[in-house]
């Protein structure tokens, strides 16, 4: 299946892209997709805290299956004061 991936903030800098479209297995979940993009963009392996993920503009758990998902966004964790 084809999935559009969006990268935000520091993840965009590490991936050297704001978005890309890739083909992933039908059985892929969010965690599996993150592993795939880390292979494609080795600098993402430097990220020590899992980013937030959103599937079709809704926050998603890492074990969420991607079946039927068109777009996944990865956002770095934010901190506030």
Q: Name the token pair of 30.
A: 């969010």
Q: Name the token pair of 80.
A: 């506030």
Return per-residue pLDDT of the chain as tens, 81 residues: 999 999 999 999 999 999 999 999 999 999 999 999 999 999 999 998 999 999 999 999 999 999 999 999 999 987 555
Q: Which domain holds residue 70?
A: 2-75
Decide: residue 74, CB within 10 A, 0-12 exposed, 13-18 middle, 19+ buried.
buried
The answer as to whether 81 is a domain residue is no
- CATH number, domain at 63? 3.10.20.30
Domain count of the fold of the chain: 1
- Say what the pLDDT of residue 77 is: 81
- Say what the pLDDT of residue 50 is: 92
The answer as to whether 14 is a domain residue is yes
């Amino acid at each position: 299946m084809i999935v559009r991936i969006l990268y935000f903030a520091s993840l965009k800098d590490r991936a050297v892209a704001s978005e890309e479209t890739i083909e992933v297995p039908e059985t892929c979940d969010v965690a599996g997709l993150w592993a795939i993009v880390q292979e494609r963009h080795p600098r993402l392996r430097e990220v020590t805290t899992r980013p937030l993920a959103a599937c079709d503009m809704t926050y998603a758990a890492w074990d969420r299956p991607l079946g039927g998902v068109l777009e996944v966004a990865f956002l770095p964790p934010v901190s506030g004061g």
